[in-house]
């Protein structure tokens, strides 16, 4: 199945043929180009038949062949695809996240297809995926980056990073690939020097071709652009965005006629918001054009705001157009799409009793409040599965009746429902792992605190403050030991209490031992605290994502703030670990509040009659507002000329990667080409890093 998926088109192939012809001429006519290869910056590249694009020439032919074979094997076993691209540096764009996502867009990758982009000289990497509709969640993609890819790249194990990424993706969907092949290594010799020359030539030609034919130069930041040029950009953006809105109105009419009012309700809302932003932009332009003189500061601020509004309008329209592009593709290939989703439904269903049995085992060990976020996951999974079956049956009937549009809507609904079934089942396993880690962490923290008690006994305590804190911490430790035994364990709550007690003890001891010693201990504690906060954020996100039809603004606000706070904690990890610990604890508390509010919302929804299969679909946000991806984690993959998605921030390798937040790190600017509607967008993914 996977080997037959074509990438690129005849134009792309002809460009590659031309590029190779130029390379051949350079290779045979430029023998004097020996010496050390110069690192090159490379724009997003087309993907060919091979799963490996080694533009940096870091793999031997044997390694490249072995990695490619392994990636194909993973595709066959796990029903997902991975491409790995090595370049010296990223350019157009230079950000790892944007670069990898652009490769995905340019090559029309689907939700079960992934790109690992590595800048070998730039020391950055990014694993691009679509967690909204794809089989691998944000949290698992981040874990693959942190535990499998990053360490190998840091060690210069280029081949091993690729195979480890593939194995990690397979493991995320429940497929074990066993050991991975890292390939051999060796000096390049004369042949290696020639390959370096060829690689430089290929990169140079591709840069010229791609920049000339596909890429548009990104505008300079507004603060660096002369006022006159900034005004021209703003005026052009206004004209093109006005055209985009008008074209989008026509597109909405076509989409409504094709797919119905329910399927286009979210697009209607987004178009209204885009019009509101455009109205504000025109008002600012009128202020700039009136007879009243404006200061240079006002001129720059208003023109900058016009560009921001136009960019936002384009991005919002893009985010919806890509979804309709996908629906139209489903309509054109409805029988194949139906078969694909039916296969996924069979794969994800498995034994319905498995998840219930797993949860029953957890209930025998842990207190109910530790399992609240997954308490109804078996029932919710069954409801989603029933809804998926209904949608697939409807789609099959529509295909038989020749109604491709209705079939596409039902297939997409089934696709989302099947993805939620997988997420609901995975959440049970994730919670079990989290509880086990929390219990282990709590026992380690008890040992750490008991060591503090011994150390504190030998420290001066003139005002008795240390003794009081130690006494309170001893009570916490005694209670923790009780909560970690028996059949009603509370490892998460216990770990949180121990963390607070440990922080109090450490803070007091810092006055005696000195700030540097405290910083060292805080850094040691930080990893555990961030893990706890990440677990709470992930649990809340999983809960909300599967029940987003019932969860209101308060829970979502707390969850967004928790993610943002956790990101801040990671950013301060190296410079201020004490503050980072406090922020991580705050993120943990916010995530817990988000879970409480979300559970209340779901309880209210359920008491109002949301227990049927249809109610479960509404609770899952599949119908109407969430049918086309509105309000969920991640975003769709935009296509050229389509309406793109949102972006997320990528963090640094080695502790600076974004934490539990699914919030955007900013959105990509719109495309102001005449006659188009919307701009370019980014597919939501977070992670990557430095090595």
DSSP, residue by residue, 14-59: HHHHHHHHHHHHHHHH-TT--SPPPP-EE------SSSEEETT--S
Pairwise pLDDT comparison (245 vs 587), residue with the higher score:
587
> Using 50, 70 and 90 to split pLDDT, how confident is the model at 624?
very low
Look at residue 557 and tell me whether its pLDDT is greater than 80: yes
**pLDDT confidence of residue 687:** 52
Q: Are residues 188 and 317 in the same domain?
A: no
Q: What is the pLDDT of residue 248?
A: 73
pLDDT above 70: residue 5: no
Residue where one domain finishes, among candidates 193, 213, 233? 213
Query: Which pLDDT belongs to residue 352?
Result: 60
Kindly tell me the sign of the dihedral angle through the C-alpha atoms of 251, 254, 258, 260: positive
Do residue 54 and residue 136 come from a single domain? Answer: yes
For residues 131 and 183, the model is more confident at 131
Residues 166, 299 within the same domain: no
Percent of the chain with pLDDT over 70: 71
- Whether residue 161 sits in one domain with residue 65: yes
Claim to verify: residue 84 and residue 133 sit in the same structural domain: yes
pLDDT confidence of residue 48: 83
The answer to whether 60 touches 68, Cβ cutoff 8 Å, is no
- pLDDT at residue 508, as a whole number: 87
- Please report the pLDDT score of residue 127 as a whole number: 95
Last residue of a domain, one of 151, 180, 213: 213
Q: Is pLDDT of 433 > 60?
A: yes
pLDDT at residue 259 in the model? 61
Same domain, 127 and 243: no
**Would the pLDDT of 1 be above 70?**
no
pLDDT of residue 621: 67
Q: What is the CATH number of the domain that holds 168?
A: 3.10.310.50
User: Residue 219 — very low, low, confident or very high, per pLDDT cuts 50/70/90?
Assistant: very low
Closest by Cα among 246, 254, 251, 301 to 278: 246
Q: Is residue 684 included in any domain, yes or no?
A: yes
Q: Is 357 helix (H, G, I), strand (E, B) or coil?
A: helix
pLDDT at residue number 41: 75
pLDDT of 610:
55
Residue 415 is predicted with a pLDDT of 84
Return the DSSP state at 116. Answer: E
Question: In this structure, are 98 and 126 located in the same domain?
Answer: yes
pLDDT number for residue 554: 93
- When mean pLDDT is compared over 93-97, 139-143, 529-533, 664-668, the highest value belongs to 529-533
pLDDT band at 678 (very low <50, low <70, confident <90, very high): very low
More confident residue, 619 or 394: 394
Residue 420 lies in a domain: no
What is the pLDDT at residue 654? 36
What local confidence, expressed as pLDDT, does residue 254 receive? Answer: 62
Q: Is the pLDDT of residue 188 over 60?
A: no
Structure confidence at residue 257 (pLDDT): 58
Enclosing domain of residue 667: 224-332+635-691
β-strand partners of 87: 119
Q: Does residue 207 lie within any of the structural domains?
A: yes
The confidence band for 497, taking pLDDT boundaries of 50, 70 and 90, is: very high
Question: What is the model's pLDDT at position 612?
Answer: 63
In a shared domain, residues 97 and 156: yes
Check residue 495 and give its pLDDT: 93
pLDDT higher at 231 or 327: 231
Residue 672 lies inside a defined structural domain of this protein? yes
Residues 187, 231 within the same domain: no
d(CA 470, CA 378): 44
- Whether residue 184 is found in the same domain as residue 265: no
Task: State yes or no: pLDDT of 539 exceeds 90.
Answer: yes
Tokens of 308: 């921001």
On whether residue 688 sits in a domain, the answer given is yes
Q: Is residue 33 part of a domain?
A: yes
Region 511-516 average pLDDT: 68
Residue 204: pLDDT band by 50, 70, 90 thresholds? Answer: very low
75/187 same-domain check: yes
The average confidence (pLDDT) of the chain is: 76
More confident residue, 8 or 578: 578
Domain count across the chain:
2
Could you tell me what percent of the chain has a pLDDT over 90? 29
Q: What is the pLDDT of residue 23?
A: 33
Report if residue 382 sits inside a domain. Answer: no
Which of 162, 183, 213 marks a domain boundary? 213
Over residues 266-277, mean pLDDT: 80
Instruction: Return the pLDDT at 130.
Output: 86
Residue 67 and residue 37 share a domain: yes
Residue 88 falls inside a structural domain: yes
| Residue/partner pairs of 373-379 with CB below 8 Å, 24 or more apart | 373/427, 373/431, 373/539, 373/540, 373/542, 373/543, 373/595, 373/599, 374/427, 374/428, 374/431, 374/539, 374/543, 377/424, 377/425, 377/427, 377/428, 377/546, 378/352, 378/428
């Amino acid at each position: 199945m996977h080997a037959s998926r074509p990438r690129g088109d005849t134009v792309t192939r002809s460009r590659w043929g031309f590029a190779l012809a130029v390379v051949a001429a350079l290779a045979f006519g430029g023998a004097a180009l020996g010496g050390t290869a110069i690192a090159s910056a490379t724009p997003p590249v087309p993907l060919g038949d091979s799963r490996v694009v080694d533009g940096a020439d870091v793999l031997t032919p044997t390694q490249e062949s072995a990695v490619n074979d392994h990636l194909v094997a993973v595709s066959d076993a796990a029903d997902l695809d991975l491409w790995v691209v090595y370049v010296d540096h990223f350019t157009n764009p230079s950000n790892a996240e944007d670069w990898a996502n652009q490769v995905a867009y340019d090559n029309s990758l689907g939700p079960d297809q992934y790109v690992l982009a590595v800048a070998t000289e730039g020391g950055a990497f990014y694993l691009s995926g679509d967690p909204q509709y794809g089989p691998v969640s944000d949290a698992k993609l981040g874990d693959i980056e942190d535990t499998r890819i990053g360490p190998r790249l840091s060690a210069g194990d280029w081949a091993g990073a690729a195979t480890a990424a593939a194995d990690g993706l397979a493991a995320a969907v429940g497929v074990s690939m066993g050991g991975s092949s890292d390939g051999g290594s060796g000096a390049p010799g004369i042949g290696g020097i020639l390959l370096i020359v060829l690689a430089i030539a290929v990169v140079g030609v591709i840069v010229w071709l791609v920049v000339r034919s596909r890429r548009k130069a990104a505008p300079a930041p507004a603060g660096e652009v002369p006022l006159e040029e900034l005004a021209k950009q703003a005026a052009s953006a206004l004209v093109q965005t006005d055209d985009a809105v008008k074209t989008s109105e026509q597109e909405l009419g076509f989409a409504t006629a094709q797919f119905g009012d329910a399927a286009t309700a979210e697009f209607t809302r987004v178009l209204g918001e885009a019009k509101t932003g455009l109205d504000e932009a025109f008002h600012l332009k009128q202020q700039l054009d009136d007879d009243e003189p404006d200061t240079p500061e006002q001129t720059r601020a208003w023109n900058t705001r016009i560009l921001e509004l136009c960019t936002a309008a384009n991005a919002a329209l893009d985010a919806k157009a890509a979804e309709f592009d996908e629906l139209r593709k489903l309509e054109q290939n409805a029988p194949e799409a139906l078969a694909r989703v039916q296969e996924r439904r069979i794969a994800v269903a498995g034994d319905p009793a498995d998840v219930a049995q797993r949860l029953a085992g957890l209930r025998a060990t842990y207190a109910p409040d530790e399992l609240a976020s997954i308490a109804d996951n078996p029932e919710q999974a069954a409801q989603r599965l029933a809804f998926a079956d209904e949608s697939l049956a409807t789609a099959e009937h529509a295909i038989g009746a020749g109604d491709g549009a209705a079939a596409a809507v039902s297939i997409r609904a089934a696709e989302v429902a099947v993805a939620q079934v997988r997420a609901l089942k995975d959440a049970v396993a994730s919670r079990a792992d989290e509880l086990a880690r929390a219990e282990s962490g709590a026992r380690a923290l008890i040992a750490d605190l008991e060591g503090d008690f011994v150390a504190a006994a030998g420290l001066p305590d003139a005002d008795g403050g240390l003794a009081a804190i130690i006494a309170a911490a001893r009570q916490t430790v005694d209670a923790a030991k009780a909560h970690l035994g028996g059949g009603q364990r509370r490892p998460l709550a216990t770990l949180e209490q121990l963390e607070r007690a440990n922080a109090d003890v450490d803070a007091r001891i810092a006055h005696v031992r000195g700030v540097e010693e405290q910083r060292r201990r805080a850094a040691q504690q930080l990893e555990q605290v961030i893990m706890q906060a990440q677990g709470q954020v992930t649990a809340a996100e999983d809960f909300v994502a599967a029940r987003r039809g019932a969860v209101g603004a308060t829970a979502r606000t707390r969850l967004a703030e928790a993610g943002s706070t956790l990101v801040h904690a990671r950013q301060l990890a190296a410079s201020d670990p004490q503050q980072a610990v406090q922020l991580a604890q705050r993120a943990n508390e916010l995530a817990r509040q988000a879970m409480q509010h979300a559970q209340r919302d779901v309880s209210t929804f359920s008491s109002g009659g949301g227990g049927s299969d249809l109610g479960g679909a509404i609770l899952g946000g599949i119908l109407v507002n969430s049918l086309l991806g509105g309000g969920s984690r991640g975003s769709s993959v935009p296509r050229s000329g389509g309406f793109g998605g949102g972006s997320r921030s990528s963090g640094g390798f080695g502790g600076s990667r974004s934490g539990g937040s699914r919030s955007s790190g900013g959105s990509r600017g719109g495309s102001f080409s005449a006659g188009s509607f919307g701009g370019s967008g980014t597919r939501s993914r977070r992670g990557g890093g430095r090595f």
